[in-house]
Structure 1
Amino acid sequence: MRLRLPEERPTEPPTGYKIAHPVLSQDGTRAGFTGVSLGGALPYGVLADASCVYGLRHPAPSRRCDCGFHCVHDRTTAEALLCTAEHRAAALLEVTVLGRYIRFERGFRYARQRVRTATAGPCACGTVAAALADAGWGRPGWQALAPSCAGCLRGRTSVSLAGFARLAGQGLRVVAGQGVSVAVAGLAAGDEPGVPELTAEAALLQARLDWFQAQLARLGERGPGGGRKG
């Protein structure tokens, strides 16, 4: 006799949690995420459909395969994954589980998802993040980003938390860790940014200005001919 999994018909889509690395397209016009394990080579957007990472033609998720999006039920469980060295720069995502899903003891494997909130951890120096900056690695066509404070940007390719959310679209909300919200996306046409958005943008601009001033000062020491004065 063939066993069948029990079917669920929830009144509203389940909520899950996962971690992923924020990514920015090579031309700087799109933003998304890339996973930390299976399927990590395939960046996805805020609203995305899963496909079999092995190239098989069955719909995801399949009971005979481990394809599909993955998440856990509990936020604390997902946060624990951020303790490992290779995942320190990842973001914590709150997602809505859509479409077909398979429920496990600790989470879901499912066909479609919407990322509702992305929480960026602190900068490597420990300061609350004001932006997402070049992490030094990426995928073909995509540059991985890591949380950074204004003082640690130092001319790297970067985007404010609010800017990342706008590029990602679909009403994504992006916040800084430690409970301090510095950027919210999904502004409707005609809406004006509030104090948190403007503060984050100002910090990013100030960091870039400081970097340019430092470069100009260095060039001034060398003199117009490229050599040092004196």
Structure 2
Amino acid sequence: MRLRLPEERPTEPPTGYKIAHPVLSQDGARAGFTGVSLGGALPYGVLADASCVYGLRHRAPHRRCDCGFHCVHDRTTAEALLCTAEHRTAVLLEVSVLGRYIRFERGFRYARQRVRTATVGPCACGAVAAALADAGWGRPGWCALAPSCAGCLRGRTSVSPAGFARLAGEGLRVVAGDGLRPAGGGLPPVVGPGATEGLGVPELVAEAALLQARLDWFQSQLARLGEHGPGGGPQG
């Protein structure tokens, strides 16, 4: 006799939590995420449908397969995954579980999702992240990003949280997590879909900090080149 799973008909989509790496397309026109485990080779957008990573033709999630998106019920459980060395630069996602799903003790495996909020952790130096910068790795056509403060950018390809939310679209909110805030205030913690309709004062402050960091880096490079003079040798 074939056992049937009990059916649920929720009045609203369940909420789940997961971690992922933010990614930026090669042409800089799109933003999304890539998973940290089974589906890590397949970047996805804010609103996305799952497919079988093994190339099988069944619909995800299949009861006898591992395919489908995965998330946990509890935010604290997802945050704990960020403690491992390989996941320190990942972001915390709050998602709406859409379509067919299978409920487990600790989470869901499901067919479709909408990423509602992405919480960005601190820079590697401990400061609040001012941008998402090139992490030094990626997937074909996609560059992985990691949280960075303005002082640690050093000319790397980067996008502000407001810019990432704008490129990702679909109403995504980007939240800056805890960190050491610089004296005098620092960057605002939240940017969101309002950036698509024109940047406000908080977003402009973040963009200005990003531009200032790039300007400081270029000035330091010009100063270094100036020390050697036009012929390449040291002046003096």
Aligned-CA RMSD value: 1.3
Q: Which residue of 1 aligns with 2:192?
A: 185
Q: Which residue of 2 aligns with 1:196?
A: 202
Output aligned runs, 1:190-229, within 5 Å.
191-229=197-235
CA distance, structure 2, for counterparts of residue 177 and residue 85 of structure 1: 18
Q: Which residue of 1 aligns with 2:58?
A: 58
Output aligned runs, 1:12-161, within 5 Å.
12-161=12-161
Residues 148-170 of structure 1, C-alpha deviations (whole Å, 9 max, x = no match): 00000000110000001101111
SS of alignment partner, residue 54 of structure 1: coil
Q: Which runs of 4+ in 1 moved over 6 A?
A: none
Residues 18-77 of structure 1, C-alpha deviations (whole Å, 9 max, x = no match): 000000011111100000001100000000000000000000000010100000000000
8 Å contact 1:130–1:182 — kept in the other structure? no
Q: 1:164 to 1:223 in 2, by over 3 A?
A: same
> Structure 2 length as normaliser, TM-score?
0.94
8 Å contact 2:21–2:89 — kept in the other structure? yes
Shift of 1:182: 3.4
Letter in 1 for 2:136: G
Letter in 2 for 1:35: G
Gaps of 5+ in 1: none
8 Å contact 1:132–1:148 — kept in the other structure? yes
CA distance, structure 2, for counterparts of residue 188 and residue 80 of structure 1: 30
SS of alignment partner, residue 187 of structure 1: helix
Shift of 1:196: 2.1
CA distance, structure 1, for counterparts of residue 207 and residue 234 of structure 2: 36
CA distance, structure 2, for counterparts of residue 30 and residue 199 of structure 1: 23
> Structure 1 length as normaliser, TM-score?
0.96
8 Å contact 2:177–2:189 — kept in the other structure? no
Letter in 2 for 1:216: L
Residues 171-207 of structure 1, C-alpha deviations (whole Å, 9 max, x = no match): 1000110298534231276x44223211211110110
Give the length in aligned residue pairs. Answer: 229
SS of alignment partner, residue 16 of structure 2: strand
CA distance, structure 2, for counterparts of residue 192 and residue 144 of structure 1: 26
